[in-house]
Amino acid sequence: MPPKKKSLGLKKKKDVGVEGIAYIKATFNNTIVTITDMSGNTVVWGTPGKSGFKGSKKSTPFAATVAAEQAAREALSLGMKRVHVRVQGPGSGRESAIQALQSSGLQIRCPHCGHLIELAEGTSWSWSPLRSSWWTRSMRRVAWLPGGGVP
């Protein structure tokens, strides 16, 4: 008796929200871009290796740009419009990945307050969860003191 053929139905479209979170993990050797919905379920992901880069070329900012553009295009095709960006790691692909997300059509939101952010060409993005509001306030206080001394 011949085996039964499986019927190939239409692929069901994922139901993702309009808003999500983009996690960018930039290491010295690679950059991983993961876009999730607001509850943390992975929707799409992209790496330079998935985009065709091998070896030391995976650690370049251009490879991070290509990987982020690919992930953003897939997320846009599923209906996502806005992302909150969370960045980890010291790698060289941090800022180029964020700019690629924005240039591909996703709106970037600040992870702190939720305001829309538009990055101009050559703008750097630096945010660290290790920098607390106390650190920022104390640095401002040092700048106000005559001679730059500590209070």
41: left (phi over 0), alpha (psi -120 to 50) or beta: beta
pLDDT > 70: what percent of the chain? 70
Q: What are the sequence ranges of the domains in the chain? A: 19-122
Q: Which fold has domain 19-122?
A: Nucleotidyltransferase; domain 5 (3.30.420)
- For 58, 92, 97, 150, the CA distances from 62, given in Å and listed in that order, are 9, 10, 9, 42
Per-residue model confidence as pLDDT tens digits over 111-148: 777 777 776 665 555 544 444 443 344 333 334 434 44
Place of tokens 């997320």: 75
pLDDT for 120: 64
Contact between 98 and 127 (Cβ < 8 Å) = no
Per-residue model confidence as pLDDT tens digits over 37-51: 999 999 999 999 999
